[in-house]
Amino acid sequence: MNFRSDNEAPVHQAIMQALLDANQGFTESYGYDPYSEQFTEQCQQLFETWCEVLPLTTGTAANSIAMTLACPPYGSILCHEHSHLNADECGAPEFFTAGAKLIPLPGAHGKIDLPHLDRYLAGTGTHGEHECLPSVISITQCTESGTLYSLDELRQLQAIKDKYGLALHMDGARFANALSTLGCSPAAMTWQAGIDMLSFGATKNGAMMAEALIVFNPQLTQQIKRLRKRAGHLISKMRYVSAQLCAYLQDDLWLQLAQHANQMAQQFHQGTTGAVEFIHPVEANEVFCRLPLAMIESLQQQGFEFHVWPGSDDIIRLVFSHATQTEQVNQLVTAIKAHG
């Protein structure tokens, strides 16, 4: 039973069917197909505003192209020390920005400590041209710890970014899971809270390989399509990416899938409270908990798959997906309780 990653879950049948439906006849290439146009319209309706939309195939591309829009080579990008941008992009943001500097910042449960961020920015500028120019704040929603920035925290971030004149980017690889928990509108969690750019994820939530970069700030869209081309992500048969994204948003499928994944995480959390130590609050579809080594080994021998978190031997990460079944969660809960 796989709790390793939502990346390992199968493609949802409605999205697979959309791919089959798109595979009929001929249509324009390089994003000028009807599916890509439809997805842009869907996004503008969903977010209740104008936005520039780039269908992409990876979150790394979305994050890295976003950084090139707002950060010059002599600029800096402020992000959490455990963010995907800093820890898991293999230098792609630095590469695509031609050398921008990442500034990793601390914060509990995967969220940037906002007073620390404010103090850091207040102290910049004293070295003039000798230091990088702070240009972008990048946050992850949901975070790498499976936690969420509340709407109030997003408003605080907006005040900080406005105070220092920076752009604000959201890595939304699990955007749907965050939105499902917060229960707000997509607009409230993005541009209305000062988000200029959103890396909009679908792959972890039922798609095959479909992501998007959504830009709400028109001042950041200059030559955006050439930057996508230069990054190697202008897909000739873009309809196969966009068709997935259209189906993903159709009839709120994306929110239904995320809600199910979140519910599975809560089922595990409620079923094991008192039996395990939770490292972070369980707010979406990821759970981090500490277990005895003997229990971890026993669970693995029973066929339960999960990640033992790097840097520790007794903390595991469980990820629940749209394809996780209630009975699978129940079996895992029972196995943990039986060992305890």
pLDDT in tens, 147-190: 999 999 999 999 999 999 999 999 999 999 999 999 999 999 99
Bridge pairing between strands 197-201 and 211-215: antiparallel
Going from the N-terminus, what domains does the chain have, and what CATH number goes with each?
13-251 (3.40.640.10), 253-339 (3.90.1150.10)
Tens of pLDDT, residue by residue over 107-163, are 999 999 999 999 999 999 878 888 999 999 999 999 999 999 999 999 999 999 999
DSSP 160: H
- The separation between CA 6 and the C-alpha centre of its own chain, rounded to angstroms, equals 12
Phi, psi of 75 (to 5 degrees): -95, 175
Confidence category of residue 4, pLDDT binned at 50, 70, 90:
very high
pTM for the structure as a whole: 0.96
251's CB contacts (< 8 A; 6+ apart) are none
Tens of pLDDT, residue by residue over 23-81, are 999 999 999 999 999 999 999 999 999 999 999 999 999 999 999 999 999 999 999 99
* pLDDT of 286 over the 90 cut: yes
- Determine what percent of the chain is predicted with pLDDT higher than 70: 100
Contact in structure between 276 and 137 (CB atoms under 8 Å): no
Confidence category of residue 340, pLDDT binned at 50, 70, 90:
low
| Overall average pLDDT of the 285-290 stretch | 97
DSSP string of 179-209, one letter each residue: HHHH---TTTTTGGGT--EEEEE-GGGT-SS
- Where are the alpha helices (H) located in 123-251, listed in sequence order? 151-164, 175-182, 224-230, 239-249
Q: What is the mean pLDDT of the chain?
A: 96
